[in-house]
């Protein structure tokens, strides 16, 4: 018989296990027999192909063309040099891509898939790859299923099988044997690796792992999908094409002018055209961008933000609105019961955290569950309608811990504090059935079997429980609950909620003997209310500063929570999301009655608003409406039903600790500490990386202009070319490589969060970048180096129009002056380009240690080319004297202070969009 046809007992017998799970020896034996529970990865594209790909990108093809022309014009030395540049650039690019891929693989290990199993009678959490056939899995809403298994318990359980069947509608699952199916995947008592639990809970026995699973059959297809190209990478590719086009047009134009206007020999005209083409190519552009993105993603991990898609890095920098949950994100998610309300009494609870130390204080005296009947009923409902588990110190590194929802864990701690032994009570009244919590119902029920009847214990949102209640327990007796009394109860609830406390209500019902269908509609009615529990989840201490930083940077925060409005409002006021004076609470039901225009009006009004008692569908709607208004939205979520909203938002942010597997898969970023402050840190890093790439481009453009203008002057004034092609190559892929990387790895500017978010439509290469790099810094640098060129020539008696042979030592001295001048000027540009608006002196000129190494690298390469005889011959240089050094050393401070003046004017006239402003 097939496994889906067997009874539960036969399943355990076939797989040689039990409802106590496997023991350690069995696990080790089966691991050796079946191997790790992981899909065998398809062999990836060979590294050699990745390496070769760097030889045919747009800029590489342009250099190949220049190299071929150099051989044609009988300048093999130049052709070989350009080929060397291509090879060095390819090696460098490949190495950066290889490092980025290694970093990505390392990031995957930060949040490994886990599974809950019962082994040796204890429920534990293990790495999913340690699952073996015979393991007894425990499944809850939001879990990813990591192996093929047969259900033996199922409570209102539905599974998303879309990864296997393509059918998006969740499938209801059962635990008993089923008849023969045409396709085992359609069996209602089987679950499969790669699918997920959308609702309910259950337990299942694993029967297939690793490459034996159904999912392994389609794994090869998923592994061959190409990685996403981020918008920033697309912009860089577009920039490369623009540069290539400009280089070709300028090269052809110079060739034609030199051939037909200046009437240079063909070979010389070709040589100069090649030189101008090479001068236009920023060889280090592509690898530096790859390095910067990979380094940024790695840096974010250190700030508890795991970036899953590179595109998220730059999108983060443009975020205009953060839609955040409350519990765990703004708060510590360390629930502690503070007050218990029972009819006509409020009992205070002392103690904090998961350690069950503390007292219940009523009328300034400690009480136990035996003293007040309703407290015992309350604690029974709180601990029975509960799936959490407390972990004693000996099993949790010396301190008390919890497995499951922190709210439910807090209820168990409270029960222990008052001396209620729920485990002993549960043995007397075993659980018959669970109706899991649902965000729409806002309740959870647990049905228990007494010797003579079934009883349901229910907990949930107070207003929901009150509405379902027809009775209230007073002094151990059921009394009718009138509408007037319900109104009074809601007032009591609001008073507690206004203190920032989260409140749950509890009740019970004796089920009729003839009830056979245990659906929520049949079970959750005619409830007897026993009381309410008020819990405190204090805000994280760092949230207030993070919220203030968002406000300062033009990022709006909207709280969307399933919690009660007054509770959410108290927390929002405490952390600074809303003002203490006036704010609006929009409840979920109120939101459903509004049309889209009314919701948009609230969102656009700018008033302080909290969306309370919201369900995941509301998050989805709000995200959609905000994006229609051209906002860039970051949306937090942790539940399985949050997945659509996380996918819809520009940046879906899931919780690494409390988040479900489904939410993590749907998100773009996972917070490994569930902390709102980590979102703000990630946004700051997103802004920083975008700015750093712009700084690098600006820095590169400055010397591009200084390399191009000599060719223009050569044509206009018929002067000897002030810089050779070999010297251009020495700058582009020699002295400028490490400094460019230093800018790419630079820290955030102090004012990076004082600026409004970057518009979605803004280009990486925009007018301010062109004006600052090509025009302002480029022209200043060009004027300086050309002045050095003419200074050397005129000191030696040369006059304009006089011939000067390329082999003349004076020509070598003049071109060396230009080459060295560009390097010295670039040191000044490097220091200046560390910031865009604020003064470089304010952040510290050498605060970025990479800048120091970049400058030292430039100087070492420059001195080597100038004074090592073999390199002198290759690059056509000559050693400079003290006088020449004194002249060009001034270039660095001139470049730095010129840009400092520009920044000063930008800061003074920022609001008038001064033409040289950099974004």
3-state SS class at 202: strand
Would you tell me the crossing angle of helices 676-717 and 809-832 to the nearest 10 degrees? 160
All residues at 6 or more sequence positions from 816 whose CB lies less than 8 Å from its CB, including other chains: 866, 876, 877, 878, 880
Q: Which helix (H) or strand (E) holds 669?
A: strand 669-671
Q: With beta carbons less than 8 A apart as the criterion, state whether 807 and 790 touch.
A: no
Tokens of 295: 């380094």
Give the CA diameter of the chain.
117
* 214 DSSP assignment: T
Q: Which helix (H) or strand (E) holds 712?
A: helix 676-717
* 762 DSSP assignment: -
Read off φ and ψ for residue 150, nearest 5 degrees.
Answer: -105, 125
Taking Cα atoms as reference points, which of 278, 267, 249 lies closest to residue 63?
Answer: 278
CA 898 to chain centre: 38
3-state SS class at 787: helix
Residue 325 a catalytic site member? yes
**Of these residues, 148, 160, 325, 387, which one is catalytic?**
325
DSSP result, 820-881: HHHHHHHHHHHHHTT-SSS-HHHH-TT-SHHHHHHHHHHHHHHHHHHH-HHHHHHHT-----
Q: With beta carbons less than 8 A apart as the criterion, state whether 305 and 678 touch.
A: yes
3-state SS class at 252: helix
3-state SS class at 387: coil
Name the β-bridge partners of 531: 506
Q: With beta carbons less than 8 A apart as the criterion, state whether 544 and 606 touch.
A: no
Classify residue 432 by burial, with Cβ atoms within 10 Å: 0-12, 13-18, 19+. Answer: middle
Taking Cα atoms as reference points, which of 281, 310, 385, 271 lies closest to residue 714?
Answer: 271
Q: How many residues does the chain have?
A: 919
Q: With beta carbons less than 8 A apart as the criterion, state whether 862 and 727 touch.
A: no
Q: How many CB atoms lie within 10 A of CB 677?
A: 22
Taking Cα atoms as reference points, which of 207, 133, 180 lies closest to residue 188?
Answer: 180
C-alpha to C-alpha distance for 729 and 239, rounded to whole angstroms: 20
C-alpha to C-alpha distance for 65 and 643, rounded to whole angstroms: 50
Alpha helices in 371-482 (DSSP H): 373-384, 406-417, 422-428, 462-468
C-alpha to C-alpha distance for 459 and 753, rounded to whole angstroms: 43
Taking Cα atoms as reference points, which of 484, 369, 488, 495 lies closest to residue 424?
Answer: 369
SS (H, E, C) 92-115: HHHHHHHHHHHHHHHHHCCCCCEE
* 821 DSSP assignment: H
C-alpha to C-alpha distance for 497 and 534, rounded to whole angstroms: 8
Residue numbers annotated as active site: 325
């Amino acid at each position: 018989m097939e496994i889906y046809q067997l009874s539960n007992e036969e399943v355990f017998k076939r797989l040689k296990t039990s409802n106590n799970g496997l023991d350690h020896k069995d696990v080790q034996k089966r691991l050796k027999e079946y191997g790790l529970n992981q899909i065998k990865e398809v062999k990836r594209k060979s590294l050699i192909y990745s390496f070769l790909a760097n030889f045919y990108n747009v800029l590489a093809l342009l250099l190949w063309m220049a190299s071929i022309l150099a051989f044609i014009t009988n300048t093999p030395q130049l052709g070989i040099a350009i080929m060397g540049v291509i090879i060095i650039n390819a090696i460098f690019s490949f190495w950066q891509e290889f490092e980025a891929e290694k970093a990505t693989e390392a990031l995957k290990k930060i949040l490994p898939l886990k599974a809950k199993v019962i082994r040796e009678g204890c429920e534990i959490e293990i790495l999913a790859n340690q699952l073996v056939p015979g393991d007894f899995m425990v499944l809850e809403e939001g879990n990813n299923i990591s192996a093929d298994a047969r259900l033996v318990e199922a409570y209102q359980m539905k599974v998303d099988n879309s990864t296997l069947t393509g059918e998006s509608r969740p499938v209801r699952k059962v635990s008993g044997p089923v008849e023969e199916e045409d396709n085992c995947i359609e069996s209602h008592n089987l679950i499969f690796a790669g699918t997920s639990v959308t609702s309910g809970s259950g337990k299942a026995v694993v029967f297939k792992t690793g490459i034996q699973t159904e999912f392994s059959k389609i794994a090869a297809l998923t592994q061959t999908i190409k990685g996403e190209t981020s918008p920033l990478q697309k912009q860089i590719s577009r920039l490369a094409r623009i540069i290539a086009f400009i280089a070709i047009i300028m090269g052809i134009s110079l060739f034609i002018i030199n051939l037909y206007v200046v009437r240079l020999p063909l070979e010389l005209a070709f040589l100069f055209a090649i030189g101008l083409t090479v001068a236009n190519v920023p060889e280090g552009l592509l690898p530096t961008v790859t390095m910067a993105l990979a380094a940024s993603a790695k840096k974010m991990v250190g700030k508890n933000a795991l970036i899953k898609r590179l595109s998220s890095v730059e999108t983060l920098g443009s975020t205009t609105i953060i839609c955040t949950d409350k519990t765990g994100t703004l708060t510590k998610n360390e629930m502690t019961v503070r007050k218990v309300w029972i009819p006509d009494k409020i009992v205070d609870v002392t103690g904090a955290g998961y350690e069950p130390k503390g007292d219940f204080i009523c009328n300034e005296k400690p009480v136990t569950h035996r003293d007040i009947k309703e407290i015992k009923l309350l604690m029974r409902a709180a601990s029975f309608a509960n799936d959490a588990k407390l972990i004693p110190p000996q099993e949790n590194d010396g301190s008390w811990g919890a497995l499951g929802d922190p709210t439910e864990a807090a209820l168990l701690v409270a029960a222990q504090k008052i001396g209620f032994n729920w485990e002993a009570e549960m043995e007397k009244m075993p659980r018959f059935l669970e109706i899991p919590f649902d965000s729409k119902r806002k309740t959870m029920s647990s049905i228990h079997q007494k010797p003579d009847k079934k009883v349901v214990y229910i907990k949930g949102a107070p207003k929901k429980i009150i509405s379902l209640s027809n009775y209230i327990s007073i002094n151990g007796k059921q009394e009718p609950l009138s509408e007037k009394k319900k109104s009074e109860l809601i007032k009591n609830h609001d008073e507690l909620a206004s203190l920032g406390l989260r409140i749950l209500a509890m009740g019970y019902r004796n089920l009729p003997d003839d009830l056979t269908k245990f659906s929520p509609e049949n079970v959750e009615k005619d409830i007897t209310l026993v009381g309410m529990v008020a819990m405190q989840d204090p805000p994280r201490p760092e949230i207030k500063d993070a919220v203030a930083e968002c406000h300062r940077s033009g990022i709006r925060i909207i709280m969307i929570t399933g919690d009660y409005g007054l509770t959410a409002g108290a927390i929002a006021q405490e952390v600074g999301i809303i003002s203490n004076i006036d704010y609006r609470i929009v409840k979920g039901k109120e939101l459903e009655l509004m049309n889209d225009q009314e919701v948009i009006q609230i969102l656009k009004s700018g008033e302080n608003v909290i969306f309370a008692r919201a369900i995941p569908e509301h998050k989805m709607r709000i995200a959609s409406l905000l994006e229609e208004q051209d906002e860039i939205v970051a949306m937090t979520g942790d539940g399985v039903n949050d997945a659509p909203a996380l996918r819809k938002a520009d940046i879906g942010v899931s919780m690494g600790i409390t988040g479900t597997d489904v939410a993590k898969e749907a998100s773009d970023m996972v917070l490994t500490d569930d902390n709102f402050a980590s979102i703000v840190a990630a946004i700051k890093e997103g802004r920083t990386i975008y700015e750093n790439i712009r700084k690098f481009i600006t820095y590169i453009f400055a010397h591009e202009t200084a390399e191009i203008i000599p060719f223009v002057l050569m044509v206009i004034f018929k002067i000897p070319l002030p810089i050779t092609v070999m010297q251009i190559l020495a700058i582009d892929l020699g002295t400028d490589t490490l400094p460019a990387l230093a800018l790419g790895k630079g820290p955030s500017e102090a004012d990076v969060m004082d600026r409004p978010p970057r518009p979605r439509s803004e280009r990486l290469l925009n007018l301010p970048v062109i004006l600052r790099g090509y025009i302002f810094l480029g022209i200043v640098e060009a004027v300086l180096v050309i002045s050095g060129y003419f200074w050397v020539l005129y000191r030696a008696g040369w006059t304009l129009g006089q011939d000067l042979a390329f082999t003349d030592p004076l020509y070598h001295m003049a071109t060396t002056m230009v080459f060295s001048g560009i390097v010295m000027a670039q040191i000044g540009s490097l220091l200046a380009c560390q910031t865009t608006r604020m003064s470089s002196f304010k952040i510290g000129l050498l605060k970025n240690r990479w800048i120091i190494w970049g400058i030292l690298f430039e100087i070492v390469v420059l001195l080597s080319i100038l004074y090592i005889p073999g390199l002198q011959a290759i690059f056509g240089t000559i050693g400079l004297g003290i006088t020449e050094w004194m002249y060009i050393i001034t270039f660095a401070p001139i470049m730095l202070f010129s840009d400092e003046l520009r920044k000063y004017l930008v800061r003074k006239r920022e609001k008038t969009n001064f033409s040289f402003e950099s974004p």
